[in-house]
Chains A and B, each alone.
Chain A
Amino acid sequence: NAGVTQTPKFRILKIGQSMTLQCTQDMNHNYMYWYRQDPGMGLKLIYYSVGAGITDKGEVPNGYNVSRSTTEDFPLRLELAAPSQTSVYFCASSPQGSYNEQFFGPGTRLTVL
């Protein structure tokens, strides 16, 4: 099992550009999450999904969109990149919601200039 994979590993965007961060898991987990980690801070939840076709906002959803068309994939879309979105983005998955560990991908480091 590859676990949770994320692409790309690094990306530099100009202000106003758009991009999609890819996330795939091969553990057949129903729950998937997107977090961001700013320097010196803990991870904050952006969006999560409890199954294909179902998504919901987390703590910091503004400026992002998600979709979940399959169990395996949970892409995160940035439509108009802003410097405030410079961060490291982590995708995670878990077999259930609460009371379960979440498995994290290696992260995508995004810089918006």
Chain B
Amino acid sequence: DQQVKQNSPSLSVQEGRISILNCDYTNSMFDYFLWYKKYPAEGPTFLISISSIKDKNEDGRFTVFLNKSAKHLSLHIVPSQPGDSAVYFCAASGRNSGYALNFGKGTSLLVTP
């Protein structure tokens, strides 16, 4: 039962353009959302998070948007750089899920020069 869904396995974007990665969730008890970035043969590294009391959080080139009514969040990367090429995981947690992070399957982003 996949509670966090990333429906796009891959995305290709030109350098300098905007990358938009999407994530949907089904559990209405989730109230904290995170994006992780993962390079091959490395562990995931934290990128940005948002709590359910906000609808937007920004950190440099990265912005996460949360639409609670649609149970949808998105990560915007502007401008995209070749070094951003990696797998991006959306994760969610909440009181009812204990301490677990529920992960999506990931979206592989390729930024081409």
List residues of A whose CB falls within 8 A of some B CB: 4, 31, 33, 35, 40-45, 48, 50, 56, 58-59, 90, 92, 97-99, 101-107
Give the contacts of B57-113 with A (CB-CB under 8 A). Answer: 89, 91, 93-95, 98-106
State in angstroms the CA–CA spacing of A42 and B34 once bound together.
13
Chain B residues, CB < 8 A from A103: 46
State in angstroms the CA–CA spacing of A43 and B89 once bound together.
9
Interface residues on chain B, size class: 20 to 34
List residues of B whose CB falls within 8 A of some A CB: 2, 4, 9, 32, 34, 36, 41-46, 49, 51, 89, 91, 93-95, 98-106
A105 close to B100 (CB less than 8 A): no
* Chain B residue at minimal CB-CB distance from A90: B43
* Contact count A vs B, C-beta below 8 Å: 63
A43 close to B99 (CB less than 8 A): no
B99 close to A42 (CB less than 8 A): no
Chain B residues, CB < 8 A from A105: 43
Partner of B106, one of A42, A59, A101, A107: A42
B101 close to A45 (CB less than 8 A): yes
